[in-house]
Structure 1
Amino acid sequence: MAKPWHDMTALELGHLIEKGSIDPIDLAQYFLGRIKTADPQSKIYVRLTEERALGEARAAARRAKQGVRLSPLDGVPISWKDLFDTAGVATEAGTKLLEGRTPETDAACLARATRAGLVCLGKTSMPDVAFSGLGINPWTGITPNPYDTETERVAGGSSTGAALSVAEGLAPAAIGSDTAGSVRIPSAWCNLTGFKPTFGRISLQGAVPLSYTQDSVGPLTRDVADAAILYSILSGTPAVDLKGVSLKGVRILRATSQFDEVSDPAITAQIRKGLALLKAAGAEVIDGPAPALDEMAALSAKFGTPASIEACMMYRDLIREKPGDMYGPIAERILAAEKFSGTDIAALYRGMEKLTRAYLEQTAGFDLVAGPTEPQHPPAIAPLLNDPAHIGRTMVMPILLTRFANLLRLCAISLPCGRDQGLPVGLMLMAPAHSEGKLLRLAAAAEQALAPLNV
C-alpha cells in the first residue's frame, strides 16, 4: 500500500512528479487543505501563501509535462519560517514589534528555491525575533509537541512552526534559521533531521536578523537526503552524492566536556545506544574531552553571547519605543546585554576566535564530534506560562549544547536517535566549517545505522 503524500519525503514526492504520478497542483492543494483542517487557528502557519503556491504549482505542472523540470524538487511544496522575506506578504519574525512589515522582494534563499521550482506554502510560527529555544509565542499561540499526548510540552524553537509543519504532515520539509540551535532543537524534539550549515553558506539577505554573525539558514526534513538536496538548492552548490556512504574507518569523538555535565543520564544512555550502532557499522567511537567547550561555556557566562549583544544593538530602541510588543522574557534577555561593556564585548569576540582554533586542534584527529542535541526532554508548557521565573531559568537549557556549533563556526546536524519514555532523542554530529559534503555523507551513513532505533 502506497504511503500517503504527507508521510513521503520531499525527494519521494519529486520523483513521483517526475514519473507523472503526481500533479503538482493536486499536491499543493492537498497540503493546503491539510493545513486549513489541522491548523485552523494559524498557530503553525501564521500566514498561508495560497495564491502564490497554486501559481507556482501550475508552472511546475507545465514544466513536468514538457520534461523541463528545474530540479529534483520542482513542484514540491515546503514551508518557510516567518523571518524570510516574502514579496507582498507580511514577514513579522514572530513579534508585534514588526507587525505589518511587508517586504517588496523575496529573501535570497527563497528566490533560489523558487528558481528551483519549489512551491511556497506559507510562513511558519516562531518566537519573537527567533530568540528562544523553547518556541513559546503568546501572540500567535502555542502548538504542543506531538510526541506527548498526556502532558503538553514545547515543540522547541525558534523554528517552531517549521518543525511542526513537517512533524504534523503539513509540509514535506521546512526552512528555518539556526543562531544557537534553532533548527536542531525542534528537530530533535520532534523526531526530525535538522541541518545547520556553516555560517554564510546560505545567504541571509532578506532574513530578519537576530545575530548578524551567528544566524544560519537550514532545512528541517524527514531524512538526510532531503536535507542535502535542500542545502544544495539554497546554497547554490552541487548536490552531495550520498551513494555508497559508509562509516568504516570513521573516527567519532563522543564529547564528554559539557555534554555529560548538563545532559539527563537517560538521554546520554540513549545516545550511547545510537553510537554503539555506529560502531557496529564500522566507526571508531572514543569518549573524551574537548576542553574548548568548557572554556566557551565559561566565556559566555562571563561576557554573554553574540546573539544577545547583537540583538540588543538592533532591537533595544524598538523594544523601549513599543513596550509590551515583545514577549516579556525575551525582551528581558535582550535588554540584559546592555550590562556588558565595550571591553567585555571585545573580550568575548577575541575569546571566541582563540577557542575556535583550540577546539579544532583538540578534535583534529576525529571526523565527527557527537553528543545529544538536547540535554533534556522538552519541558511542559503550563509551568512555563504560570511562572515567569521558571521560564527565565528554562530558556537557556535548549541551547546549552547546540550553541557550540554556532560559536565555534562549525556545521552540524541532528538525527533521530530513538526515544526515551516515548519522547524523541536527537544525536548531534558536528564537523569543521565548510565540510558540509563530508558531514552529510557521514550523516547519511549514520542514519542507516540508526534505523533499528527509529522503527
Structure 2
Amino acid sequence: MDVAFLSATDLGRALARGEFTSEALVSGLLARIRTYDPVLNAFVEVYGNTALLAARESDERRSRNRARGPLDGVPFAAKDLFDVEGYATLAGSKASPVTAAAHSSTAVRRLLAEGMVLVGKTHTVEFAYGGWGTNPSCGTPVNPRDSLVQRVPGGSSSGSGVAVAAGLVPVALGTDTGGSVRNPSALCGIVGMKTSLGLIGRGGVQPLALVFDTVGPMTRSVEDAALIQAALQGEDPDDPATFSVPRADPRADLDKGIAGLTLRHPSMENLNAAEPGVLERFRETLADLAAMGAILEETRLPRPLETYASLGANFTTAEAWSRYRHLVEKENSLVDPGIAMRMSRGETMTIADYLGYVEQRRLMQTEFHRYLAGADAVLLPSSPITAKPIDGAHDAAAPFGIFARLANLMDLASLSIPMGDAEGLPTAVQIMVRRYADPLAYRIGRALEVKRGGLFVPPSGYGLTSPFLELSRTVDRAV
C-alpha cells in the first residue's frame, strides 16, 4: 500500500495508531514534491521547514494524548487565492502586488486549528478566471493522468487538483465560482465539492465574483471531503454570507445508503455537448445508483444548459472586470493578454445589464425550483469532455461551464466524484442538491464509493519514492 495515496481519513487513523509520525509523513511528501513537482508544477511555493515544525508539534501533542482530532498531523495545500500569514497571495498573476498577508484566511486557520499541516500553496489560473487550468504567466500545472501527453488539469483550482491526484498531498483547498473545484477534480480523477454559499467563510480569500464564490475541499474520497467540510464550516466574521446560516454535519447519515431517494437527471438531448465516452460512463453510473435502490428519473431541463452557462458567465465577467480592470488597463499591464481580453467584455456591461442578469437569474431559479420538486438530487456529468492537450488550449473556448455553472447560478451544492475512465482519462458525475443540503450530496456520493470499492485510482508513474518505502511496509503489516 502506497502511503502517498492513502486518504486523509486513513492517514489520520494510521497516525493515531502510531504506525508512523506526522514528521515522517510530511518528510515523505516533501520528497515526492521535490521529485515530481518540477514536471507537474502544482506548487507555487512549498513551506518545507514550517511544515516539518508543525508536524513535530502534532507528534508532540499526540505523545501527550492531546491530539486535536482525526486530522491532526495530516498535510494539506491551499490554492494561491488563500491568504497565508507572512506570504503574498498572488492569485496566479504577475500583476498582483507582492505583499505579505498579515493574517491567514479563515479556511486555512480552521484547518490549522485541527492540527493539519500546511505544506504549501498551489497554482491557479490567473485571478481564477478560466476553466482549462492554464496559466502562461506563472506556469500551468500538468495533469498527472497521462504520462505521454501533457494535458490540461482543469481550472481554476488547477494546482490543487494535480497535487491531490499525484499523491503530493491528500487534501487541498480550492474555490468554485463556475466549476473551479469541480473542473480539475473531474479531469484529474479526484473528489471535489462546490459547497453551499455561506457554509464556509471566504475571509482572506481573494474573490473573483462574490455572487458565486465558494470554498471547497478537494480530496481522494467522499469520506475525506465530508470530514474536511465539517472542519471548515462555521460563521466567519469576515464574510457576512455566513451569518446566521443553518449548518448540518456533512458526515451525518454518510453511510445510510440511497434506497428510496429520487435522483433526477436531464434528458440525453440536454447533454448533447458531452463526448460519447463521458455519456457512456454516465449511463453506467445511473445504472449503479438504480441498482442500489435509488429511483432514477429522466426529465428535460427547463432551459438548455448553455443558457444557464451564458448567464453565469455574464455575472462573473461583470464582477471580475469591476475588480481587476485597474490591473488590466494599467500601462504595460502584466495581466495575460488572453485573460485581459476575455475579462474586458465587462467594459461594455452597464448597471442596467447587470440588473437584467439579476432578474433573469430570479426567473430561472423559480423555474428550477419547480424542476427539483419531488427529487432529492439532480445528476449530470461534471465535465462534457476529458482532459485535452495543453498545447493550444489557453486560447480556445473552454466548454466546462456548460455543465458546471448551473450549480452556481441556481445556488446549489454540487459534489463531483470520479465515475470511471473514458479512453484512459477520468470522467466525473456531479451530484447537485438544494442549498444547505450538502450532507445529502455526500451520502449519495459515498454510496457509490462503497459500491465500487473506492472511486479514486492512483495515476501510473507516480509510485513510491524512497522515504515512503518503509512507511508503506509499516502500513501493509498493520493492515
> What is the TM-score normalised by the length of structure 2?
0.88
Q: Distance in 2 between matches of 1:67 and 1:443?
A: 34
The match for 2:417 is: 415
Q: Name whichever of 436-445 and 75-84 sits farther off.
A: 436-445
For the structure 1 residues 259 and 265, does the alpha-carbon distance in structure 2 shift closer, same or farther, using more than 3 Å as the test? Answer: farther
Among 361, 371, 383, which residue is 1:352 paired with? 361
Shift of 1:55: 2.1
The match for 2:170 is: 172
Matches within 5 A, 1:376-387: 376-384=385-393
Shift of 1:70: 1.1
RMSD of aligned Cα (Å): 1.9
Q: Which stretches in structure 1 are left out of the alignment for 5+ residues? A: none
Measured against aligned partners, the alpha-carbon deviations of 1:13-43 in whole angstroms (never above 9, x if no partner) come to 1111111112111111111111112113782
Among 279, 285, 310, which residue is 1:268 paired with? 279
Letter in 2 for 1:234: L
Quick check: 1:258–1:401 contact (8 Å CA) kept in 2? Answer: no
Q: Distance in 2 between matches of 1:270 and 1:180?
A: 23
Letter in 1 for 2:140: I
Among 411, 419, 438, which residue is 1:436 paired with? 438
Q: Secondary structure at the match of 1:70?
A: coil
Q: Distance in 2 between matches of 1:93 and 1:225?
A: 29
Matches within 5 A, 1:278-289: 278-289=289-300
Q: Which stretches in structure 2 are left out of the alignment for 5+ residues? A: 235-246, 458-479
Q: Secondary structure at the match of 1:73?
A: coil
Shift of 1:51: 2.7
Query: How many equivalent pairs are there?
Result: 444
Q: Distance in 1 between matches of 2:414 and 2:141?
A: 26
Q: Distance in 1 between matches of 2:312 and 2:251?
A: 38
Q: Name whichever of 244-253 and 408-417 sits farther off.
A: 244-253
Q: Does 1:340 align with 2:340?
A: no
The match for 2:465 is: none
Q: Distance in 2 between matches of 1:221 and 1:209?
A: 22
Quick check: 1:304–1:348 contact (8 Å CA) kept in 2? Answer: no
Quick check: 1:417–1:454 contact (8 Å CA) kept in 2? Answer: no
Q: Secondary structure at the match of 2:264?
A: strand
Q: Secondary structure at the match of 1:329?
A: helix
Q: Distance in 1 between matches of 2:309 and 2:3?
A: 44
Matches within 5 A, 1:50-449: 50-236=48-234, 238=249, 240-242=251-253, 244-256=255-267, 259-291=270-302, 293-294=303-304, 297-298=306-307, 301=310, 304-321=313-330, 323-384=332-393, 388=395, 391=396, 394-395=397-398, 397-449=399-451
Quick check: 1:42–1:140 contact (8 Å CA) kept in 2? Answer: no
Q: Distance in 2 between matches of 1:42 and 1:189?
A: 15
Q: Distance in 2 between matches of 1:328 and 1:224?
A: 38
Q: Name whichever of 146-155 and 209-218 sits farther off.
A: 146-155
Q: Name whichever of 5-14 and 302-311 sits farther off.
A: 302-311
Letter in 1 for 2:281: Q
Letter in 1 for 2:285: G
Quick check: 2:123–2:141 contact (8 Å CA) kept in 1? Answer: no
Q: Name whichever of 83-92 and 45-54 sits farther off.
A: 45-54
Letter in 1 for 2:429: L
Measured against aligned partners, the alpha-carbon deviations of 1:134-189 in whole angstroms (never above 9, x if no partner) come to 01111232232222233322011111000110111100111111100011111111
Letter in 2 for 1:289: R
For the structure 1 residues 259 and 220, does the alpha-carbon distance in structure 2 shift closer, same or farther, using more than 3 Å as the test? Answer: farther
Measured against aligned partners, the alpha-carbon deviations of 1:422-452 in whole angstroms (never above 9, x if no partner) come to 1111011100000011221122112223448
Higher helix share: 1
Shift of 1:216: 0.6
Letter in 2 for 1:212: L
Q: Distance in 2 between matches of 1:286 and 1:141?
A: 43
Q: Distance in 2 between matches of 1:454 and 1:118?
A: 22
Q: Distance in 2 between matches of 1:185 and 1:208?
A: 19
Q: Name whichever of 414-423 and 262-271 sits farther off.
A: 262-271
Quick check: 2:270–2:300 contact (8 Å CA) kept in 1? Answer: no
For the structure 1 residues 42 and 82, does the alpha-carbon distance in structure 2 shift closer, same or farther, using more than 3 Å as the test? Answer: farther
Q: Distance in 1 between matches of 2:39 and 2:421?
A: 30
Q: Secondary structure at the match of 1:40?
A: helix
Letter in 2 for 1:111: R
Q: Distance in 2 between matches of 1:251 and 1:151?
A: 40
Quick check: 1:109–1:204 contact (8 Å CA) kept in 2? Answer: yes
Letter in 1 for 2:273: V
> What is the TM-score normalised by the length of structure 1?
0.93
Quick check: 1:247–1:446 contact (8 Å CA) kept in 2? Answer: no
Q: Distance in 2 between matches of 1:41 and 1:251?
A: 44
Q: Distance in 2 between matches of 1:384 and 1:13?
A: 36
The match for 2:242 is: none
For the structure 1 residues 42 and 430, does the alpha-carbon distance in structure 2 shift closer, same or farther, using more than 3 Å as the test? Answer: closer
